Amino acid sequence: MADQEEKIKVCVIGAGAAGLCAIRHLAANAKFETTVYEQTNEIGGIWVYKEQADFDENALSIHSSMYQNLRTNLPAKIMNFPDYITMEAQEPCCVSHQEILKYLENYTQHFDLCRHIQFNTKVEHVRLELSEHCNKEKWSVQVKKLKTNEIKMQYFDAIMICNGHYFDPYVPIIPGIDSFPGLILHSHVYRKPDEFFGKKVLVLGAASSGIDIGIDLSNYAACVYLSHNHDRLTSPLPLNMIQVAGIENIHETTFRLRDGTTIDGINVLLFCTGYKYSFPFLNENCDIRIDNNYVTPLYKHLINIKHPSMCIIGIPMAVVPFPMFHMQVQYFLALLEGRVALPTKSVMLEDSILKTPKKRHAHKLMDRQWDYNDSLATVGGFNRLPLFYKIGYRAWSVQRSANLLRYKDSKFVFSEDGQSVELIIPE
Ligand code: FAD
């Protein structure tokens, strides 16, 4: 780690929610010198809605997967950062994407974060360098100023990767797909439902995006087939939204499904099949590997075990992201400051071993996220998350699976002692 007398030079890649949270904590501590690179001309990352889905004004492929009618799939109350709680337990509990962007803009202004950010600056290459005279690891970061095409190189003691995980679509291989004459797209480029008026759409995948976009489309499409390989959803769905099995193969507009049935006359195939973790700027010598969305070797899904002055914020899936960023950032800064010592390499490697049957689920935490967050706080010596996050999340899970059509309209009702909460759907 960096010399105690000198400032620790930290590079943050990206100014979405994770990057902003990193800057907020770095900037509050005089021991750090903070440099942030953001490839677009604004803060907010995924929450910046772009009508166009291909390239922006800097000829950069569009980062955000936001669509016009998106409302959060988590209650806004539990999306607050714990040190900036301005979204109250309002009704409806889930809010528009514009409200979340506004929240992030307010957070940025409140903590005066913009002055640290270099906009229109894309990180192109990150390399580990060994400083000869002091045998210390440094990171060289090569950036491109997108307005001028100027290339610059800078050196840092530590690096926080906050480049997001929802911009590189995962598309499974489906036999016969080349014979399909209709429109094929991924949720990354989905924007508006009215473009699908009267169409027969097959949505592949029934995680958050598949369900949300399927419901959005059902207001315009003639019929939406929600195709997936999981247990049937038990919640009511729109009348023109039909659950079917996963796709076996395609012949022109006929889709053969895994249960042996077929569907004819499909006009649109919409992949809601998720994303790949992607760090295109990392040199091989950073020693980060991705195998089927299992990122290694990471301690606590966060710290690069081979080079612990690098972390990746936001790897865990099926979590409440903003408060988790708050915990991950504080833990990493405690480490850089030397307030926390890492365990031995073998203990860290043991922690990074695959604990799920599928690599794709290696970073899926769900209910384990609370112990995870608590463990960061305990070791890092900072506050745990207030209880309302956990009880709010649990009440949300129950309400969501029971009523996918209405859960976003619910209202939080906390018990008098604040120890429990119910999400009530208004009449
Ligand atoms: P991002 O928001 O993706 O930000 C990454 C930033 O890094 C971007 O600004 C990008 O331009 C920049 N960047 C990337 N590469 C480079 C580079 N090479 N150089 C410089 N800059 C770079 N979460 C919730 O809590 N509630 C929800 O309801 C919710 N809904 C979602 C709906 C959708 C459709 C999606 C895709 C995600 C949703 N999420 C939701 C998850 C959401 O992604 C996280 O909450 C969070 O906003 C992610 O923040 P981030 O900073 O990690 O990534």
pLDDT of residue 136: 82
pLDDT score of 2: 47
Q: Which residues line ligand 1 (CB under 6 A)?
A: 13-19, 37-40, 45-47, 63, 65, 72-74, 79, 122-123, 162-164, 166, 209, 281, 314, 321-322
Render pLDDT for 279-332 as a digit per residue (tens, 0 to 9). 999 999 999 999 999 999 999 999 999 999 999 999 999 999 999 999 999 999
For the chain, list the domains and their CATH numbers: 8-167+277-389 (3.50.50.60), 177-271 (3.50.50.60)
Pocket test for ligand 1, best of 46, 95, 107, 125 (most atoms within 8 A of CB): 46
* ipTM of the modeled complex: 0.99
**Ligand 1 atom with minimal separation from the 14 CA:** 7
Ligand 1 mean position to 164 CA, how many Å?
4
* Ligand 1 centroid – CA 175 distance (Å): 32
**Mutational test site, ligand 1, from 108, 163, 325, 396, max ligand atoms within 8 Å of CB:** 163
pLDDT tens-digit readout, 398-412: 999 999 999 999 998
Q: What is the pLDDT of residue 221?
A: 98
Most confident of 136-140, 302-306, 353-357: 302-306
Question: Is residue 427 very low, low, confident or very high in pLDDT (cuts 50, 70, 90)?
Answer: confident
Distance of CA 45 to the CA centre of its chain: 10
For the ranges 38-47, 210-219, 279-288, 410-419, which has the lowest average pLDDT? 410-419
C-alpha 313 – ligand 1 centre gap (Å): 11
Ligand 1 center to 373 CA (angstroms): 20
What's the confidence (pLDDT) of residue 133? 65
